[in-house]
Amino acid sequence: MQTKRIAIFGSTGSIGTQALEVIAENSNLFSVAILTAQNNVDLLIKQALQFNPQIVVIGDEKKYQTLKEALANTTITIAAGEAAIIEAAASDIYDMMLAAIVGYAGLKPTLKAIENGKAIALANKETLVVAGDIVMKKALEKRVPIIPVDSEHSAIFQCLVGEGRNKIEKIILTASGGPFLGRKPNFLVNVKRDHALQHPNWSMGAKISIDSSTLMNKGLEMIEAKWLFNLQPQQVQVVVHPQSIIHSMIQFEDGSIKAQMGLPDMKLPIQYAMAFPQRLANNFKRYDFKKPNALTFEEPDLKTFRNLSLAIDALHKGGNLPCIMNAANEIAVFAFLRNRIGFLDMTELIERTMNKIPFIEKPTLKDYFDSDGEARNFAASIIQM
């Protein structure tokens, strides 16, 4: 395997930092070409000094001078701002983009990388939630592989290897249920941010942790799966599996079910995506069948966790509705993390926004951008009332 040059867009987040750990452990196989971050300039500087990429970009332009001064004695090209992040994606100094920018902000750089013919290790599910039809069409035109990093989609991807001619009946995405599994609305009304951030199985960033606690994360994953694997909405199912050992499953038309299993550790799907089609040896912990947990499954509670129900509606209706839902959710999570709204208020805000913004059945890329902006403005106006 030749050394693969990796561009990590979102290097200071949970996925980005774990990807750098994988690269450090396999420095003969991977090098770092680009690092970008939005705000965490101190960690970005530390990463740049350790991995010596060719380009480093900080999204927050106010932190450019700090970055420039810290890296003054290096040969690294330094830039700042959204346009600079997109410009870095358009460069020809890398082989694969790890798309780990959180939320809608990851869409434009990922599209630019695809246009540039670069392989994508996709950790940003919102890219496909917002504009999955356009992204996947562009990837097909450019013959760009999109290899999922989300543990659930990585599991499906791995189960599909060698099954190209066999028809999928359905896929089953597993959900841990989050920190509030089994709870009812009278409990959730009093939930605070610190409780919602405590995921039982996975170590994740703040935004995805909140999405997991509301089950919105699983709804976003359903929409992502539709586009990744070219499925109809009715072919995507969710089942709650609290142990997070089975990461997802495929049922084929003959009734056979394939599953990918392992202990919950995001470094495994990150490593798999970056090294594909090879599997690399590692020292990650293994699941021990001599000391098995009981593996249990149950239906998600759609009445209590209505965010998942809203996402299922968006999945089936399509058009720009998933884009609208995602924008409202990002505003809702931002507000909840800052104690501006309550836990259950997030669902109400998302639902009101989905009902308010005009539906477009066959949106263009501009329509997606406009819908995102309109949804954010409306959702933010509700919070200010």
State the pLDDT at residue 195. Answer: 85
Assess whether 164 and 301 both reside in one domain: yes
Q: What is the distance between the alpha carbons of residues 208 and 333, in angstroms, rounded to a whole number?
A: 9
DSSP reduced 3-state for 246: strand
Q: Does 101 map to a domain?
A: yes
Sheet strand arrangement including 257-261: 236-240, 168-175, 246-252, 257-261
Q: For 183-215, how does the pLDDT look when each residue is reduced to its tens digit (9 = 90+)?
A: 998 999 888 888 888 876 666 778 889 999 999
Q: Does 191 map to a domain?
A: no
Q: Does 189 map to a domain?
A: no
Assess whether 236 and 114 both reside in one domain: no
If you average pLDDT over every residue of the chain, what do you get?
95
Assess whether 116 and 250 both reside in one domain: no
**Start-end of H helices in 338-385:** 345-356, 365-384
Sheet strand arrangement including 77-80: 77-80, 55-58, 30-37, 4-9, 96-99, 119-122, 146-148
End-to-end CA distance of the chain: 57
Find all residues with CB under 8 Å of 182, minimum gap 6, and list them: 301
pLDDT surpassing 60 at residue 84? yes
Q: Does 280 map to a domain?
A: no
> Which residue is listed with tokens 């869409």?
107
Assess whether 246 and 161 both reside in one domain: yes
Q: For 250-281, how does the pLDDT look when each residue is reduced to its tens digit (9 = 90+)?
A: 999 999 999 999 999 999 999 999 999 999 99
Q: For 16-25, how does the pLDDT look when each residue is reduced to its tens digit (9 = 90+)?
A: 999 999 999 9
Assess whether 323 and 360 both reside in one domain: yes
Nearest to 200 by CA among 264, 262, 293: 264
pLDDT band per the 50, 70, 90 thresholds, residue 103: confident
Assess whether 212 and 356 both reside in one domain: no
Among 305, 339, 365, where does a domain finish? 305
Q: Which phi and psi angles does 307 have, rounded to 5°?
A: -60, -40
Please give the full DSSP string across 283-332, using - where no structure is assigned.
------TTSPPPP--B---TTT-HHHHHHHHHHHH-TTHHHHHHHHHHHH
Q: What is the distance between the alpha carbons of residues 118 and 121, in angstroms, rounded to a whole number?
A: 10
Q: Does 313 map to a domain?
A: no
State the pLDDT at residue 380. Answer: 96
Assess whether 155 and 144 both reside in one domain: no
Q: Residue 12 belongs to a domain with what CATH number?
A: 3.40.50.720
Q: Does 301 map to a domain?
A: yes
Q: Does 281 map to a domain?
A: no
Assess whether 124 and 163 both reside in one domain: no
Assess whether 29 and 71 both reside in one domain: yes
* Burial grade of 232 (CB within 10 A; 0-12, 13-18, 19 or more): exposed
Q: For 143-184, how does the pLDDT look when each residue is reduced to its tens digit (9 = 90+)?
A: 999 999 999 999 999 999 999 899 999 999 999 998 899 999
Assess whether 296 and 323 both reside in one domain: no
8: β partners = 35, 98
**Domains identified in the chain, total number:** 3
pTM of the model: 0.93
Q: Residue 358 belongs to a domain with what CATH number?
A: 1.10.1740.10
Q: What is the distance between the alpha carbons of residues 385 and 380, in angstroms, rounded to a whole number?
A: 9
Assess whether 13 and 140 both reside in one domain: yes
Assess whether 211 and 66 both reside in one domain: no
Residue numbers of the domain that contains 298: 151-183+196-263+288-305
Q: Does 292 map to a domain?
A: yes
pLDDT surpassing 70 at residue 89? yes
State the pLDDT at residue 381. Answer: 95
